Structure 1
Amino acid sequence: MYQSRMRPLLVTLAIQVIFIALVLMVGRYFMLHYFAVPAELAKHSEDVTRMWSIGVRYDLRIGGLFMSPFLLVGFLFCANRFTWRVLKTISPYLMGIIMFLVVMVTISNFYYYQTYHNHFDIFAFGIADDDTQNVLLSIWQDYPVIRAVLCGLLLAFISFRLAKHTLRDKARQHWHTGFFIIYLLIATIVLAIAARGSVGTFPLRRGNAQVSQLLILNKLSPNGFMALDWAINDKKADESFAPVSHERGKALEAQLGISGLNARTPVNPWLAQHKPNVVMTVMESFGSNMLDFDKPGVNDLLGHLRPHFKEDFVFKRFLSEDNGTAPSLAAMLFHSPFENISHSSEQKVKLNGVPFDVYKKAGYKTIFISPGNMAWRNLVNYLPRQGVDEVYDQNTLMEMYPQSASELGAWGVPDDYAFRLAEKLLSESKKPLFITILTITNHPPYETPKRYHPAPYALTPEVLKHSADTKASQKNILETYQFAADAFGQFVSSVEASPAGDHTIIASTGDHQMRRLNAFYPQEQVLDRAVPFYLHVPKPILAHTKWTYDPNRVGSHKDIFPTLYNLSLSDTPYQAIAGRNMLAPVDDPSRAFGYNVTLWIDKNGAYPMSGNPAFYP
């Protein structure tokens, strides 16, 4: 009797998943038909195909998630005659309700896009934050609420009738027990895959929605439920932003011992006439805790970057602002302590004084490149609002370098494609460029392109002592770290040898420490939060600026852009916050410190930012 109940339940779930997916697909089709320009779609035919491929997987995921609870309950309820009757009586009604919700969310997402030119986002919660009565009145007046409800009820009734029909009791041929178990196992696996949307390491997620440079295709990839889920997560992570008084600001400055948050670069007529390109590379997990294991010829972690580390400026007593990519980026690029600012309630606010703004006002073209997917943290939309002229991510790179598509990993294409594009832009530009590059390869699951031939690396005793992985995994980590550094080193070499070489400043740092490594506290607490700050400055620029290099100066991410401004801009105001020029002829003692959210360092030693007050010389 168990299989005579379980089999119709599985058929019912399959039909319902397909029905839900079809409704969501129809909603996407109508949005594409009404909001996209056919001429633009014709130029991006491959992206349209990719949008449908990802979109269908999102739709099946929603169907799988909705139906999975019925399967889990069915495993138990099909074993008893009474519980089976309860299940087959209630399920059609619940499935009808689910279909009604699917239809209403799909229609609502259609009209939300029509109004706000975006799928559901954090602003959808305005109905709760604003004048609820007037918002509801506006919805009633401006949108076809009755027709939407009737459509939802019709499809809900169809879903209800389908479930009633497929769940009915009737005589069924008995299958062999072994065959039935295999059938049940396969059905369970298929439903689980549908609910994940993927058979890979990661389930289908937000970043997968970024399929094209054509913005509408990225907006139509997810269905309304996926967009709502992201909006809810954004709402939970949202920060409350409130004005701060001038008096409070001055009190904080006095407490810190600095004269103000703003500064100005010196007047430099040569820089005013010869504005150099500036390339700032934020390298994924380029931590000093891993770099400390570098040993030429034995465990080579720098590759082609090694000669540049010897010839150029490198500060190693240097901390990342935070211990994750998003918060470190927010601090460096947006001067914000809130990692969610790019997809918060303030995501549409233009910031003044951030690096893109400073360079844009100085006459630069501003560019952001990443081999990853910039749907991440809504950067694809937020960066242009902050003054970025062009944003390139994995989709652009796969179009420009088709061979990169076969090397697409969990987080994007290999880093060297981003550097190749940056080199191309530098060679073609007729005006100074400010380029920010965010790399991604040195990230789990730690995979390098098959074409890469690594320099020697080894599991030395120190590596094994700090390893948190198996030997095989640790080898992958070492190779990936080397690949990322090597790719950057080759980029520096190529630019240095090019016509743009004598007027291009190149800087790099890590976004945070290398993960998967154990740290022994307190003796390694600074190393565990440290990242190098590398700086290549062409000789003509050094000859026309005042500088002093002291590799023992301490600093952190806050000091990077003040250093770059002083090397590239003449008589330009900027927000120093508490940062300073690391190459200044005379160091500023009030700002000569490094800050991480867990640690503070100065020339005397280290001060943990949590627990009881402590000092380590």
Structure 2
Amino acid sequence: MDWSTIFKTFAYGLRMDASMAAYICALPALTVATQLWLKRPIIPKRAAQVYVWVVIGISSLITIINLNIYREWDTLFSYKAIDIFLDAPQLAFASASSSPIWLSLSLLVMLIVIGLLLAKGLGIYTFAWPVTAAWPIKAITSFGVLVIVFLFIRGGWGLTPLNSSMVYFTTEAFPNHAATNVVWYLMNDVVHAKGQATNPYRVMDDRRTTEILKPLLTTEGKSPRILTNDRPNIVFILLESFTADLIEALGGEKGVAPRFEQLIKEGILFDQIYASGDRTDKGIIAALSAFPSQSSQSIIKSIHKQEGLPSLVKDFAQKGYHTSFYYGGESEFYNFKGYMLSHACDRVVDQYSFAAREVKSKWGVFDELTFNRQLQDLSKEKEPFFSTILSLNNHEPFDLPGAHKFGKDNLPDLFRSTAYYTDSVLYDYLHRAKAMPWYKHTLFVIVADHGHRLPLEKWDSNHPKRYHIPLLFYGDVIGTAYRGKRIDQLGSQVDIASTLCHQAGLSSDAYVWSRDLLNPTTKPFAFFTWANGWGVVDTACALGFDNVGKVLTYTSGEQACDEKSPLFKSGQAYMQAVYQQYLTY
């Protein structure tokens, strides 16, 4: 690394370092706040010394273990390493046998000694607050100490609490990992490790899951060619909560997204597409990495797991495409930025890329500014490019820069209003894009990140219609014979990757869960999940299964959809295999 990058690793990592220091100081801070009101020390000096020694020892040990794990795996010390050690200590020691043991021990001793000398030199064992101050001073001081510690732990008072993504600043893995405080990372990973050690959805032998899933995931022959350009620009547009219930052509309400109806006439509409999950973090992974939602877990939150996923962003980058990601909110939210940077995204633009006066929404800047920014940047971008944009405002609290089209009397109308705004922004964006020289070479892939219970307020989490979303291919790069066509192939967000790769001449082998929606041999099937539950849909029936109660909570269709049906077995196998792959990352 050059000196500039080294400096940035410290600068970007400082926030997480401060958070970890605050965690360490939490107990002493609570003690100090209490001590202010007492005349006698409640913690003896020896106890304070032991606490400091333990913290120094554990932190130093974690740092050295991480040094060796990273040397072997190129990943940070995580719960996965602990789990492997607990499961097979002899294998863990065998794996570590190639590590420089004496160098590691020497560094460990050095870190501990330096830590102890600093602790002694700073006099932290004998530090004491005065107890003779007036009670208002005591109250303000004790409350202030605790608030400061809390804010440092949280990483500030912003909307999003501290997460690993916030220290990422480059597309290179090592500088990002170097900026990450490994003690904080390990602690966070252990806390969120519930369900990661075992598969709660295991119900059959792995060979049986393979037998069941193979016909669902296998296609034959070639798909029709719908593009006129072998190397098109790709603009991937993810629309927040843009459920099918907003679109008349998909059976939704009339007048909420009237401009989308016009776009349908010029593009290719896939009208039987289902979201993989119920949140944006799962939708991004399903759409860009073709990895299905894991129900009770979210792989994007785990740096070392999501880095192992395939990615359209990375695949196109490796083919010489310039890559970018635009989002009007905090890109650190749910590790969006970390995911993008670790998958070769050249540029991340979020609310911090705009002037403070432009951040007028609770979530960030309004969509019109974000879309305008991308349009301006792409006019200067070298072709070909792969640019992703995630809309923002069709989300609670449903605030807008202007009037609400359908009023503010209730949540459904607020939702309709922000959806109408999103529809307007999208149409205006595409209309102005037509004047750009790169437009005629560009394919726009427009899809919702997930469905929603609004505006109808009648779809529970287990109902397939809650996950029904639009998918539209749009642009002059589409052959004239295919414009205005509707594809009724039943599929999912995860199927976008294979479909897009085949049209762009890329291999889709890495996307094992993805099928080509344009291939006539693709089996009609969609899988979706919510918190600890999953559902499946085919042309004959649909069902939803609650994994906590181990019971079917939704069934419908022409055929019997029960626990003996082939569709139910397909859902079981799918959920088990997806979660098992999640565990292995």
Letter of the structure 2 residue corresponding to residue 208 of structure 1: M
Give the equivalent residue in structure 2 for 1:535.
473
Task: Say if 2:282 is the partner of 1:327.
Answer: yes
Give the equivalent residue in structure 1 for 2:167.
209
Give the equivalent residue in structure 2 for 1:407.
359
Letter of the structure 1 residue corresponding to residue 60 of structure 2: M
The SS at the match of 1:615 is strand
Task: Say if 2:128 is the partner of 1:162.
Answer: no
Please state how far the C-alpha of 1:220 moved relative to its aligned partner: 5.7
8 Å CA contact retained: 1:368, 1:392: yes
Q: 2:157 aligns with which of 194, 199, 206?
A: 199
8 Å CA contact retained: 2:543, 2:555: yes
**Structure 2 gaps, min length 5:** 559-585
Give the equivalent residue in structure 1 for 2:556.
615
Q: 1:232 aligns with which of 184, 190, 197?
A: 190
- Distance, in Å, in 2 between the alignment partners of 1:88 and 1:515 is 57
TM-superposition CA deviations, 1:26-80 (whole Å, max 9, x none): xxxxxxxxxx6335579xxxx78963773575355335434354357659xx66x
Give the equivalent residue in structure 1 for 2:583.
none
Give the equivalent residue in structure 2 for 1:135.
96
Q: 1:560 aligns with which of 468, 479, 496?
A: 496
Task: Say if 2:429 is the partner of 1:491.
Answer: yes
Change (3 A) 1:214 1:570: closer
- Distance, in Å, in 2 between the alignment partners of 1:562 and 1:67 is 54
Asked which structure has the greater CA Rg, the reply is 1
Give the equivalent residue in structure 2 for 1:370.
326
The SS at the match of 1:535 is strand
The SS at the match of 2:536 is strand
Q: 2:2 aligns with which of 37, 51, 62?
A: 37
Please state how far the C-alpha of 1:426 moved relative to its aligned partner: 4.9
- Distance, in Å, in 1 between the alignment partners of 2:461 and 2:19 is 48
Give the equivalent residue in structure 1 for 2:452.
514
Give the equivalent residue in structure 2 for 1:65.
26
Change (3 A) 1:104 1:564: closer
- Distance, in Å, in 1 between the alignment partners of 2:208 and 2:142 is 65
TM-score scaled by length of structure 2: 0.70
Map 1:239-250; keep pairs closer than 5 Å: none
- Distance, in Å, in 2 between the alignment partners of 1:323 and 1:208 is 24
- Distance, in Å, in 1 between the alignment partners of 2:144 and 2:103 is 49
Give the equivalent residue in structure 1 for 2:578.
none
Please state how far the C-alpha of 1:365 moved relative to its aligned partner: 1.7
8 Å CA contact retained: 1:280, 1:436: yes
8 Å CA contact retained: 1:317, 1:554: yes
Give the equivalent residue in structure 2 for 1:456.
405
Q: 2:537 aligns with which of 601, 606, 611?
A: 601
- Distance, in Å, in 2 between the alignment partners of 1:514 and 1:215 is 35
Please state how far the C-alpha of 1:534 moved relative to its aligned partner: 2.5
- Distance, in Å, in 2 between the alignment partners of 1:380 and 1:203 is 14
Change (3 A) 1:489 1:249: same
The SS at the match of 1:614 is strand
8 Å CA contact retained: 2:16, 2:162: no
The SS at the match of 2:389 is strand
- Distance, in Å, in 2 between the alignment partners of 1:441 and 1:523 is 22
Please state how far the C-alpha of 1:404 moved relative to its aligned partner: 6.7
Please state how far the C-alpha of 1:486 moved relative to its aligned partner: 3.6
Map 1:46-85; keep pairs closer than 5 Å: 51=12, 54=15, 57-58=18-19, 61-70=22-31, 84=40
Letter of the structure 1 residue corresponding to residue 556 of structure 2: F
- Distance, in Å, in 2 between the alignment partners of 1:578 and 1:188 is 49
Change (3 A) 1:420 1:55: same
Letter of the structure 1 residue corresponding to residue 102 of structure 2: W
TM-superposition CA deviations, 1:141-176 (whole Å, max 9, x none): 3442322222233234456x5343527xx9x6462x
8 Å CA contact retained: 1:279, 1:435: yes
- Distance, in Å, in 2 between the alignment partners of 1:445 and 1:216 is 38
8 Å CA contact retained: 2:234, 2:385: yes
The SS at the match of 2:517 is coil
Change (3 A) 1:166 1:444: same
The SS at the match of 1:67 is helix
Letter of the structure 1 residue corresponding to residue 407 of structure 2: A
- Distance, in Å, in 1 between the alignment partners of 2:490 and 2:71 is 51
The SS at the match of 1:532 is strand
8 Å CA contact retained: 1:554, 1:603: yes
TM-score scaled by length of structure 1: 0.67
Task: Say if 2:305 is the partner of 1:340.
Answer: no
- Distance, in Å, in 1 between the alignment partners of 2:147 and 2:507 is 61
Give the equivalent residue in structure 2 for 1:147.
110
Change (3 A) 1:249 1:525: closer
- Distance, in Å, in 2 between the alignment partners of 1:192 and 1:444 is 26
8 Å CA contact retained: 2:240, 2:391: yes
TM-superposition CA deviations, 1:247-279 (whole Å, max 9, x none): 75762256xx558256533478x84x6543232
Please state how far the C-alpha of 1:320 moved relative to its aligned partner: 0.3
8 Å CA contact retained: 2:267, 2:483: no
8 Å CA contact retained: 2:393, 2:422: yes
- Distance, in Å, in 1 between the alignment partners of 2:427 and 2:271 is 17
Please state how far the C-alpha of 1:446 moved relative to its aligned partner: 5.5
8 Å CA contact retained: 1:61, 1:194: yes
- Distance, in Å, in 2 between the alignment partners of 1:445 and 1:205 is 23
Task: Say if 2:223 is the partner of 1:279.
Answer: no
**Structure 1 gaps, min length 5:** 1-35, 467-473
8 Å CA contact retained: 1:109, 1:119: no
Give the equivalent residue in structure 2 for 1:264.
222
Please state how far the C-alpha of 1:336 moved relative to its aligned partner: 2.9
Give the equivalent residue in structure 2 for 1:394.
349
8 Å CA contact retained: 1:284, 1:512: yes
- Distance, in Å, in 2 between the alignment partners of 1:426 and 1:174 is 62
Structure holding more helix per residue: 1
- Distance, in Å, in 1 between the alignment partners of 2:523 and 2:484 is 16
- Distance, in Å, in 2 between the alignment partners of 1:526 and 1:356 is 29
Change (3 A) 1:70 1:491: same
8 Å CA contact retained: 1:277, 1:504: yes
The SS at the match of 1:457 is coil
Give the equivalent residue in structure 2 for 1:22.
none
Change (3 A) 1:491 1:343: same
The CA RMSD over aligned residues, in Å, is 5.0
8 Å CA contact retained: 2:490, 2:524: yes
State percent identity of aligned pairs. Answer: 14
8 Å CA contact retained: 2:240, 2:393: yes
Please state how far the C-alpha of 1:294 moved relative to its aligned partner: 5.9
- Distance, in Å, in 1 between the alignment partners of 2:489 and 2:70 is 54
